[in-house]
Amino acid sequence: MKDKVVLITGASSGIGRALAFAFGREGARIVICARKAEALQEVSTDLQQAGITVLSLIADVSREADVQQLIEQTIARFGRLDILINNAGISMRSMLIDTDPAVIQKVMDINFMGTVYATRYALPHILKTKGSIVGISSIAGYRGLPVRSGYSASKFAMNGFLEAVRTELLHTGVHVLTACPGFTASNIRVSALDAHGQAKGETMRDESNMMSAEECADYILRAVKSRKRELILTTQGKLTVFINKWLPALADKLVFNTLAKEKDSPLKK
């Protein structure tokens, strides 16, 4: 990773922040972006204090113009782009019957269209370096999760998009990785939107035994180095994908029962 330029979206906390440190410690030059200026500046300061070269840019990945400018500023500063990590994302938690469709649209705009914009405008530069495009997806991109229909849809869309792009680029030397963490300790559940688009402000799961964001970032770093096609993390995540493929009716029951145990779950038998 020495002197490679790595752009990470949604890097003001959680997995994005951990990825910035993981790649930065390997000698990469890091570009981080997020919507929250104060949180982003804190990460930028921490990276600089760790001796990591960093460019910090405010950007909302759901806005095409923001993403175009993000790529342009990256190239203006470093002259190249080696690795794009599409990490920016938001979740939602409500039953479909109660959900304002605008909430699902917002989730799709950030999680899916943000990936589309960044990948599209980064691609000419990544083709030159024969670099990597990474999507931080989810087990919810393989198995639809109740009470998270919009989030699952956005991750299914990301998975299909990256698979298509990977195939388009098959003979170009560009690497495409779909990385799917299982339940990871991060702030995505705290910032999850409710039925009316308001952040819930608390997690509904016990995060004490979850994989840490730092551990997740280390797995992703190794997957980029080895140019893996796909990364599915945690035993629970791998088992969920396996059962859903071969025993889908059983998966329906197991997923329902597991998520019905969450705090204040609306799922009722």
User: Are the C-beta atoms of 230 and 137 separated by less than 8 Å?
Assistant: no
CB burial of residue 261 (10 Å; 0-12, 13-18, 19+) = exposed
d(CA 197, CA 110): 13
Written as one string, the DSSP assignment of 20-87 is HHHHHTTT-EEEEEES-HHHHHHHHHHHHHTT--EEEEE--TTSHHHHHHHHHHHHHHHS---EEEE-
CA Rg, the chain, in Å?
Answer: 18
Element counts in the chain: helices (H) and strands (E): 9, 9
Check the CA dihedral 240-106-69-41 and report its sign.
negative
Crossing angle between the packed helical segments 114-129 and 149-168, to the nearest 10 degrees = 20
Given the residues 117, 121, 142, 151, select the one marked as catalytic. Answer: 151
User: What are the b/e assignments for 35-65, b being 16+ CB within 10 Å?
Assistant: beeeebeebbeebeeeebbbbbbebbbbbbe
Active site residue 121: no
Active site residues: 151
